[in-house]
Structure 1
Amino acid sequence: MPELLPLSDADWRLCSTVRAHLQRGAVVALPTDTVYGLAALAQHEHAVAQLYKVKRRCELKPVAICVSRVEEVQRWARVTTPEPLLRALLPGPVTLVFERSPALNPHLNPHTPLVGVRIPDHPFLRRLVARCGGPLALTSANVSGAPSPLRPDEFAELHPLLACVVDGGALGGSALARLGSTVVDLSQAGTFKIVRAGSAEAATRRVLQEEHGWTERV
């Protein structure tokens, strides 16, 4: 069974413990700003393979990466947006899709030239990513096709496959939280496409269309 670790934003030992599990190629579960997620080092080939195995996810379906700061997005993706637009969307419950950078692990999402990038509005998770020194592969903590979880007990069947579970209590300040992040393709400058409505579709559209004048692609 995994380590069950209560979340404390002030507990640096917790961050060190989770990082140690990640650095040996393990998969962990932790809270995000939407649902509970499964995380592994994105640049670690074995860890990515294990993430897919735990989730029982088809290898053709990509997973997003999580970074800690807006400045890091350009390292892993070919950013088409001006920085003010990035900062208007991130951090938050949004996944931005761009062309992938050659620096990204070629074994992560090898069947697509694109990559989704997240900066969750969650202090512990951003601190953890910063201390890992590279992006995390991040996906919801459920078996593929099952509802995304808002509590650790909702993915109890996965616990034996995980190195640790960070327990941040019940998530979800609204009924939309279980929908996860809004996924929007920004790979073509000046236009966008909503790939998944998620929990922040209306706010994302407002930023893109009304505040920055981007056009929606059909």
Structure 2
Amino acid sequence: MADFVAKPLSKIIRVSGLSRDTKEYNNALEETAKVLEDGGLIGVPTDTIYGIACLASISNAVKNIYELKGRAESKPLAICVPTVESISHICKVSVDNDLLHDLLPGPVTLVFERSPELNPDLNPTHSKVGIRIPKFSYIQDLAVICSYPLALTSANYSSQTSSTTVEEFKPLWEKLDLVIDAGRVGTGSKDGSTVVDLSTNGRYQIIRQGCAMENTLAVLRDKYKLLSTD
């Protein structure tokens, strides 16, 4: 894999403490969206840890995420969408909408069979894709105004510790076009989202326990009576 070409960080935008109805907040959103639409990579807060994101439709940007992180190309990226209703545009949803609304937005990644509408250069060797709707206003609002879902992964070099502040992934700053600083995120743990495969009707498979295992099982197993494939 070729080395990623470092470039000066354009800027850090601090949004911690900003209300969603302020001019400063909306200006930050617009600037972030423009960077993404231009094929850039950003550091962005979520409800669990900081992530690196790009537009999933821009193949070169997706490639740059792998090179930046030193990530094996066989490891898939997740997709961040703005609403539960938008999931069916890029996935073959195999569960009721009520179940989706019980888990999302939240610290859970739901895995479904991908639809042909998804960029074929994103996770090309995988027939499934993980979907995120973080319960964090900035990335939710960003997903709403972007023209295409975001490709999303953790803000760290591959296999290293996740980041709950922007300072913790400072070695990556020079390789990013923009960093959004929302202060410390998450619940104190550095665990990422709970990842669950729901691609089989009536069944679930936990791929990664993550930070929301207990609540996820309560929804899947206890409320909707899904059976584990394990």
TM-score by length of 1: 0.97
CA–CA distance in structure 1, aligned partners of residues 215 and 199 of structure 2: 19
Amino acid in structure 2 at the alignment position of 1:200: A
Q: RMSD of aligned C-alpha atoms? A: 0.8
1:171 to 182, 185, 189: 185
Q: Which residue of 1 aligns with 2:5?
A: none
Offset from partner CA, 1:123-157 (integer Å, 9 cap, x none): 11111011002100000100000011001111111
Matches within 5 A, 1:101-116: 101-116=115-130
Q: Which runs of 4+ in 1 moved over 2 A?
A: 172-175
Amino acid in structure 1 at the alignment position of 2:217: R
Q: Which residue of 2 aligns with 1:6?
A: 14
Gaps of 5+ in 2: 1-7
Amino acid in structure 1 at the alignment position of 2:14: P
Q: Which residue of 1 aligns with 2:3?
A: none
Matches within 5 A, 1:23-38: 23-38=37-52
2:169 to 155, 159, 164: 155
How many angstroms does 1:51 deviate by?
A: 1.2
How many angstroms does 1:9 deviate by?
A: 4.2
Secondary structure class of the residue paired with 2:30: helix
Tell me if structure 2 keeps the 8 A contact 1:26–1:50.
no
Answering whether residue 82 of structure 2 is matched by residue 68 of structure 1, we say yes
Q: Which residue of 1 aligns with 2:223?
A: 211
CA–CA distance in structure 1, aligned partners of residues 66 and 129 of structure 2: 16
CA–CA distance in structure 1, aligned partners of residues 119 and 198 of structure 2: 21
Tell me if structure 2 keeps the 8 A contact 1:34–1:181.
yes
CA–CA distance in structure 2, aligned partners of residues 136 and 212 of structure 1: 29
Offset from partner CA, 1:142-198 (integer Å, 9 cap, x none): 0000011001111111000000100011123243xx111000000001000000000
Matches within 5 A, 1:36-55: 36-55=50-69
Tell me if structure 2 keeps the 8 A contact 1:93–1:121.
yes
Secondary structure class of the residue paired with 2:217: helix
Q: Which residue of 2 aligns with 1:94?
A: 108
Q: Number of matched residues?
A: 216
TM-score by length of 2: 0.92
Tell me if structure 1 keeps the 8 A contact 2:46–2:186.
no
Aligned identity (percent) is 41
Q: Which residue of 1 aligns with 2:211?
A: 199
Amino acid in structure 2 at the alignment position of 1:93: P
Q: Which residue of 2 aligns with 1:187?
A: 199
Amino acid in structure 2 at the alignment position of 1:28: I
Secondary structure class of the residue paired with 1:179: coil
CA–CA distance in structure 2, aligned partners of residues 101 and 85 of structure 1: 20
CA–CA distance in structure 1, aligned partners of residues 66 and 32 of structure 2: 19
C-alpha spacing 1:36/1:9, structure 2 compared with 1 (3 Å): farther
Answering whether residue 135 of structure 2 is matched by residue 121 of structure 1, we say yes
Gaps of 5+ in 1: none
